[in-house]
Amino acid sequence: MAESAHISDEDSGIRLDRWFKRYYPTLTHGHLEKLLRTGQIRIDGKRAKASERLERGQTLRLPPQLQNAREQYKPQPRTEKTQDGSMLVNLVLYQDEQVIVLNKPSGLATQGGSGLTQHIDGMLDALTFGKKQRPRLVHRLDRDTSGVLVIARTVPAAAALAESLRHRDASKIYWALTKGVPEKKRGTIKLALAKEGGHGKHGRDERMVASEDGDDAKHAVTDYAVIEHAGEEFAWVAAKPVTGRTHQIRVHLAELGHPIIGDFKYGGTEARPRGAVADKLHLHARSIDIAHPAGGRLTVTAPLPPHMMKTWKLLGFDPNADDDPFAHGRKK
């Protein structure tokens, strides 16, 4: 006898084939296509396609043979029972039914890549917190950049957050320690960026370069403000990216003549600190203000990572400062 499944809020927006991958993981794509082609799976009584997106409140007709497919599936142990999963849970700064915000540590990659075995995306099963679907990334941070990282808990939330980022309905403020003090204490850096390959030990590494010419160059704008400085050697700089290019803040500050401490990729030997300041990248995603998928605004602030906290105290900076240097808007 055929069964029925009702689409919940959590599954709204997901493709039909991905819904089956989630709830009937032993069902092959070929078998699913056959069931759809012969009309044995229907949405609200109508024939459906694997690529069709589901909506809350819809009813799926499921043929009886799928019951065996579900019974044969034995879930793997959940990631939250592993050491990595526990570590990720401890990074949570904020969570509600649609959004989770992490304080990503320096040195932990957001996504996988060549030679990477540990990254945020690979541990997101630890953050289901009772929901059926796996959380998903909506933006990323460089591996050595710490701070605020927003995770969507549902498909609709991911779409809404991505839309806010795409239309720049989000304000992200980063804190950086730079080599030397910018002459202008407040300004806007407008410098297009392009990818340049052929770097690294095996020539596979990419870096961004300032480029006003060429088809690959993309418009990039960063607002910055010097909050405080320690003599002429170091400056505490707040940076607010207006666009979201790869390594944008790092390249822009280096091009300004004041690379971020610990950023040897773009600052070279100039980025090497002296004294007790840690030999690590001093760039932290301090806060984000973004439209919440359920309405209103989501505003979260992340405390500094240990190496930057030590530096701030060493230089006499206030690590708990909450003034927004960009509160009056960007100068045109």
Catalytic positions: 142
Angle at 212 between CA 211 and CA 216, to 5 degrees: 65
Q: What is the secondary structure of 97-141 as a DSSP string?
A: SSEEEEEEPTT-BSS--TT---BSGGGGGGG-TT-SSPPEESS--
List, in sequence order, every beta strand (DSSP E) within 159-265. Answer: 170-179, 186-190, 193-199, 205-210, 221-230, 234-241
Buried b (16+ CB within 10 A) or exposed e, 64-91: eebeebeeeeeeeeebbeeeebeebbeb
| Terminal C-alpha separation, the chain | 67
Q: Which has the closest alpha carbon to 88: 73, 76, 78?
A: 78
Phi-psi region of 146 (alpha: psi -120 to 50; beta: other; left: phi over 0): beta
CA 42 distance to own-chain centroid: 36
